[in-house]
Amino acid sequence: MHRLRTTVARLGPLTAAQTAQSLSQPRLLALEGGLRTLQPARRLNSSVAAEPFLNGTSSNYVEEMYFAWLENPRNVHKSWDIFFRNANAGAPPGVAYQSPPPLTGTSQGLAGVQALVGAQPNVEKLVKDHLAVQSLIRAYQVRGHHIAKLDPLDISCVDFDDAPCTVGFQNVEISHYKEHLCNLNAEGFYELAESDLDKVFRLPTTTFIGGNESALPLREIIRRLEMAYCQHIGVEFMFINDVEQCQWIRQKFETPGIMRFSPEEKRTLLARMIRSTRFEEFLQRKWSSEKRFGLEGCESLIPALKTIIDKSSQSGVESVIMGMPHRGRLNVLANVIRKELDQIFCQFDSKLEAADEGSGDVKYHLGMYHKRMNRVSDRYITMSLMANPSHLEAVDPVVQGKTKAEQFYRGDTEGKRVMSVLLHGDAAFAGQGIVYETFHLSDLPSYTTGGTIHVVVNNQIGFTTDPRMARSSPYPTDVARVVNAPIFHVNADDPEAVMYVCNVAAEWRNTFHKDVVVDLVCYRRNGHNEMDEPMFTQPLMYKQIKKQKGVLQKFAEKLIGDGVVTTQEYEEEVVRYDKICEEAYTRSKDEKILHIKHWLDSPWPGFFTLEGQPKSMSCPSTGISEEELGRIGNIASSVPEEDFTIHGGLSRILKGRANMVSQRVCDWALGEYMAFGSLLKDGIHVRLSGQDAERGTFSHRHHVLHDQNVDKRICIPMNYISPDQAPYTVCNSSLSEYGVLGFELGFAMASPNALVLWEAQFGDFHNTAQCIIDQFISSGQAKWVRQNGIVLLLPHGMEGMGPEHSSARPERFLQMCNDDPDVFPKPSEDFAVRQLYDCNWIVVNCSTPANYFHVLRRQILQPFRKPLIVFTPKSLLRHPEAKSSFDDMLLGTHFQRIIPDDGPAAAGPEKVKRVIFCTGKIYYEVTRERKNRGMDEAVAVVRVEQLSPFPFDLVKAETDRYPNADLVWCQEEHKNQGYYDYVKPRIRTTINRTRPVWYAGREPGAAPATGNKQTHLMELQRLLDTAFDLEAFSGKL
């Protein structure tokens, strides 16, 4: 009884808002039986046929009238109201219709009809009952998942209301149901009574439970709804505000008998369950004390993924890119991606030596790439599992970016050939904000991947934390509702139900190209890892788990019972797979060396030698011809489309550019244009993404022109460089850093022949993407032997804008550089390139547009890929001196790691008393001050443009050149920030510690900058005073 009450309470009448939503949904489906009324079809149809005014063409109209009347009799003319009342009351053909009242006065006819209705006291009840049945159907669709038997342990407590922790009356025999129904109060069950159970009700068009029937007895209606919505699958979809999509889902789950599998399919499913289960058992037998984050309790994950892949391959998908956490990862590698088992097993051998450079990673983080024939579709399919850090969900946007890139390079604009699959743990899916950020990329034109299939291993625990402490939403999957993704909850102890929802999920993705979630409700048989004791914290849950029969055993017993397989066949299959594992284990013993290279998730065929080395150790000139500079400059200053009206302010900007081109100079924006344009011309795709990147935060870029008269008409001149150029992508991103940077990093993984740039709005905002920077960008190659050429543009500079918007935190990037401050690298011919090759990333702060141009081009022209961090300017964008001549960008020119002094100081170096080393915008303040003080001969100023890898060789040349000078590092940042801690030991190493390196900059500080403009200027003057006070450091040793 209690169970029923709970059910009914949960399925109780809809709220006003829900009802309104239901009524406002257009009805899409054509009705098979013509007009629908509350009466059984045949009878009604005959009466309809007998009505002289009803014919085939008017039936749609009548239907609409009818539904309008159902919603509210006042919605229709009185004559229709009477007609429907009469029809429902069983008025014989020809009698239901009464002429409408004349415009003047009351008519006789109407009075007569009212009398007829009045003579049918049951009409009101009939209408009410039908509405009640409709509401009941809808309630099952909306909230049937609340009472579905989703939890294999039967202990779940999804707190939809404060109801106790029980599930509903699933699977209750009708007799039970009847018994319970008698005890229901009127409000509890839409005022339907037991006596209504055998009454026949017409079915609305928003249900498919009828199959070929358009009317069913209430008892059968309820039974079918229970079958569709309250068994092992809970379908959450009614929040989707697209009627076609809702109907599609209803049809997939309500159609009677739709969830049937052939014996062959069942046998395949069993074989997959055997592989999944026996793989974990094998690892447990061989390495009982090794962490492997086993899948026990969710073994059906393997057939789930395989089903998704089979189905997607059948519909034309050629490449699946996957991201997943620790749980079951080895199993997925072995049984889904089909990594050779011996390669997996040898990862357990702690004695093997690593063959590759880099620090490597634990086995459950490594990635994989594999192309194979899909046996179900008979088509080749490539599968890659992305390497990822421990940081849960961080890989999500990276997978999306890589998927987008693969789609882009294949011209797969709708995502029909490449798709992504993301796996999640229940706690992480609910807890990590990056999941939300990633969902919000899913429908943005430059970021969509045409739908991702999400699979949640919902083992109802996160390490030691219960769901009620881990999230505030009923399900771990609620975050997906923000993008209207349907959510299919399924009891993972029912492999057939799992297989079914995975089929539907793959079809959904293929049909609508939108995200979808499969929530595998399962349990975790062991602790968080195999060394962990779960009884400390979840004693009752684990008592229950110990009693739980394994899913393979249950499923095998069922299939044997049903005669689908014999016990012998089952046992033979188990033995066969165990043998495969044993043989691979023996082979793995022969391995002497561990190759991380074998675990590459994104190979770049043709880019390296066969041994995986760069094809050369040199970088050609990054300059371009005068003619090319002129051509790109002209494009940058023009509107290449006819009849396109741009904003007046922009016309002035373009005119300014044209002037610069005629004078053969570039400002920052034009330098960037030259770099992008020349790479595009050479077939290198350029993609620039970030918040407001199209115009540029500082309104300097303007890569997308907007017609002032025509809505949404835009022009991207960069795509007019040359007819066979690569396409240029510039896109304003969502307001996310973690998600978008991860996405661009993934995009950059797909191909080495693309310049992919992410621009922070202001440099300091990168810290909300810190995880991508720390876990992937700075350390990715060392961990996963995977190179990446992503560029980060981080606006930086102390300009009196306050503590935020000032510092891109160069100290953080420099602190993560892997070059040794105490070792002067061996001089060699290819010193500069080798240094780049050896470093984990490149950090630059350019002071001229030409150098910015060169460093961007070098990203592509160097024979390997490294992340590039660029601190970009704000005020320098318009600084009259921050311009470069075309001469500095011509063929034969290079990126300058250091820009030496070229004034009077350099002409008479022995007279120089001080060398000021600096980087970035402060150079212009320092040289202005030097001029004002008339110290051009006494002080040399050297710009360090490439901070890391540190240009030891060039710094040495500068320090040697000025033997009588003291050395000062000058920066505008606080002493504990900026570059000082990084450059000081390196300059000291360069000069063999023969001279001190003095500091001229702001005092140590907690905040990056002051909020007070006056203080800002005072601090600046003070640091310049120090820099030019030649006595400032005397006696300070």
Ligand X SMILES: Cc1ncc(C[n+]2csc(CCOP(=O)(O)OP(=O)(O)O)c2C)c(N)n1
Query: What residues from 436 to 475 belong to the interface with ligand X (CB under 6 A)?
Result: 457, 459, 461-463
- For the CB of residue 363, give the shortest distance to Mg ion in the complex, in Å: 20
Question: What's the rounded Cα separation, in Å, for the pair 22 and 134?
Answer: 10
- For the CB of residue 326, give the shortest distance to ligand X in the complex, in Å: 6
- Tell me which DSSP letter residue 422 carries: E
In this structure, what token pair is assigned to residue 224?
A: 């079918």
- For the CB of residue 431, give the shortest distance to Mg ion in the complex, in Å: 10
Nearer to ligand X, 390 or 511 (CB): 390
User: Where would I find the beta strands (DSSP E) of 877-996?
Assistant: 884-885, 898-899, 914-918, 939-944, 946-948, 966-974
Nearer to ligand X, 461 or 721 (CB): 461
Question: Which uninterrupted H or E stretch holds 325?
Answer: none
Using the rule CB under 5 A, is 602 a contact of Mg ion?
no
Nearer to Mg ion, 396 or 694 (CB): 396
- Tell me which DSSP letter residue 336 carries: I
Question: What's the rounded Cα separation, in Å, for the pair 597 and 785?
Answer: 6
* 392 binding partner (options Mg ion, ligand X, none; Cβ < 5 to 8 Å by kind): ligand X
- For the CB of residue 394, give the shortest distance to ligand X in the complex, in Å: 7
- For the CB of residue 389, give the shortest distance to ligand X in the complex, in Å: 8
Q: What are phi and psi of 321, to 5 degrees?
A: -110, 125
Instruction: Single out the residue of 317, 427, 435, 660 in contact with ligand X (rule: CB under 6 A).
Output: 427
- Tell me which DSSP letter residue 844 carries: E
* 720 binding partner (options ligand X, Mg ion, none; Cβ < 5 to 8 Å by kind): none
If DSSP codes are grouped into helix, strand and coil, which group holds residue 973? strand
* 463 binding partner (options ligand X, Mg ion, none; Cβ < 5 to 8 Å by kind): ligand X
Nearer to ligand X, 429 or 762 (CB): 429
Residue with tokens 């009840």: 125
Instruction: Single out the residue of 13, 144, 204, 425 in contact with ligand X (rule: CB under 6 A).
Output: 425
Instruction: Single out the residue of 292, 327, 809, 897 in contact with ligand X (rule: CB under 6 A).
Output: 327
- For the CB of residue 269, give the shortest distance to Mg ion in the complex, in Å: 24
Contact characters 962-991, Mg ion, x per CB under 5 A? ------------------------------
Contact characters 486-525, ligand X, x per CB under 6 A? --------------------------------------x-
Contact characters 65-104, Mg ion, x per CB under 5 A? ----------------------------------------
Tell me which stretch binds ligand X (CB under 6 A): 196-204, 384-392, 752-760, 982-990.
384-392
Question: What's the rounded Cα separation, in Å, for the pair 447 and 397?
Answer: 10
- For the CB of residue 957, give the shortest distance to ligand X in the complex, in Å: 46
In this structure, what token pair is assigned to residue 918?
A: 């600096």
Cβ–Cβ under 8 Å, residues 810 and 978 = yes
If DSSP codes are grouped into helix, strand and coil, which group holds residue 712? coil
3-state secondary structure 740-778: HHHHHHHHHHHCCCEEEEEECCCHHHHHHHHHHHHHHHC
Distance of CA 805 to the CA centre of its chain: 27
Question: What's the rounded Cα separation, in Å, for the pair 54 and 42?
Answer: 15
Instruction: Single out the residue of 386, 428, 798, 844 in contact with ligand X (rule: CB under 6 A).
Output: 428
- Tell me which DSSP letter residue 614 carries: B
Residue with tokens 């008479």: 908
- For the CB of residue 393, give the shortest distance to ligand X in the complex, in Å: 7
With CA atoms as reference, report the closest residue to 920 among 814, 773, 819, 1005.
814
Tell me which stretch binds ligand X (CB under 6 A): 249-257, 388-396, 784-792, 980-988.
388-396
Query: What residues from 819 to 838 belong to the interface with Mg ion (CB under 5 A)?
Result: none
- For the CB of residue 458, give the shortest distance to ligand X in the complex, in Å: 8
Tell me which stretch binds Mg ion (CB under 5 A): 199-207, 409-417, 419-427, 687-695.
419-427
Instruction: Single out the residue of 27, 176, 267, 391 in contact with ligand X (rule: CB under 6 A).
Output: 391
Residue with tokens 């041994």: 611
In this structure, what token pair is assigned to residue 177?
A: 């149901």
- For the CB of residue 524, give the shortest distance to ligand X in the complex, in Å: 6
- For the CB of residue 457, give the shortest distance to Mg ion in the complex, in Å: 7
Using the rule CB under 6 A, is 390 a contact of ligand X?
yes
Query: What residues from 461 to 490 belong to the interface with Mg ion (CB under 5 A)?
Result: 462
Instruction: Single out the residue of 220, 310, 426, 901 in contact with ligand X (rule: CB under 6 A).
Output: 426
Instruction: Establish whether the linkage from the previous residue to 204 is cis, with ω within 30° of 0.
Output: no
- For the CB of residue 445, give the shortest distance to ligand X in the complex, in Å: 29
Question: What's the rounded Cα separation, in Å, for the pair 259 and 269?
Answer: 14
Q: Residue 225: how many CB atoms within 10 A of its CB?
A: 20
Question: What's the rounded Cα separation, in Å, for the pair 842 and 825?
Answer: 16
- For the CB of residue 474, give the shortest distance to ligand X in the complex, in Å: 16
Tell me which stretch binds Mg ion (CB under 5 A): 351-359, 460-468, 545-553, 680-688.
460-468
Tell me which stretch binds Mg ion (CB under 5 A): 433-441, 459-467, 774-782, 970-978.
459-467
Using CB under 5 A as the binding criterion, the count of chain residues that bind Mg ion stands at 5
The CA-based angle 620-621-623, given to 5 degrees, is 145
- For the CB of residue 609, give the shortest distance to ligand X in the complex, in Å: 37
Q: What type of residue is 437? A: E
Cβ–Cβ under 8 Å, residues 796 and 920 = yes
How many helices (H) and strands (E) are present in the chain, helices listed first?
36, 28
Tell me which stretch binds ligand X (CB under 6 A): 386-394, 686-694, 735-743, 917-925.
386-394
Contact characters 522-561, ligand X, x per CB under 6 A? --x---x---------------------------------
Nearer to ligand X, 238 or 461 (CB): 461
If DSSP codes are grouped into helix, strand and coil, which group holds residue 571? helix
* 521 binding partner (options Mg ion, ligand X, none; Cβ < 5 to 8 Å by kind): none
Q: Which residue is nearest to ligand X (CB)?
A: 425
Cβ–Cβ under 8 Å, residues 654 and 637 = yes
- For the CB of residue 600, give the shortest distance to ligand X in the complex, in Å: 23
- For the CB of residue 528, give the shortest distance to Mg ion in the complex, in Å: 9
Nearer to ligand X, 399 or 624 (CB): 399
Percentages of the chain per state (helix, strand, coil), in multiples of 5:
45, 15, 40
Residue with tokens 């000021």: 916
| Burial per residue of 239-278, b for 16 or more beta-carbon CB atoms within 10 angstroms, e otherwise | ebeeeebbbbbbebbbbeeebebeeebbbbbbbbbbbbbb
Using the rule CB under 5 A, is 426 a contact of Mg ion?
yes
Residue with tokens 């997978």: 399
Q: Residue 347: how many CB atoms within 10 A of its CB?
A: 22
Q: Residue 881: how many CB atoms within 10 A of its CB?
A: 11
Tell me which stretch binds Mg ion (CB under 5 A): 426-434, 482-490, 724-732, 756-764.
426-434
* 391 binding partner (options Mg ion, ligand X, none; Cβ < 5 to 8 Å by kind): ligand X
Question: What's the rounded Cα separation, in Å, for the pair 349 and 332?
Answer: 20
Tell me which stretch binds Mg ion (CB under 5 A): 161-169, 359-367, 456-464, 757-765.
456-464
Nearer to Mg ion, 527 or 951 (CB): 527
Q: Spell out the alpha helix ranges (H) of 513-566.
A: 539-547, 551-561
The CA-based angle 25-31-32, given to 5 degrees, is 155
Query: What residues from 171 to 230 belong to the interface with ligand X (CB under 6 A)?
Result: none
Question: What's the rounded Cα separation, in Å, for the pair 846 and 849?
Answer: 8
Question: Footprint of ligand X on this chain (CB under 6 A)?
Answer: 327, 390-392, 425-428, 432, 457, 459, 461-463, 524, 528
Question: Footprint of Mg ion on this chain (CB under 5 A)?
Answer: 425-427, 459, 462
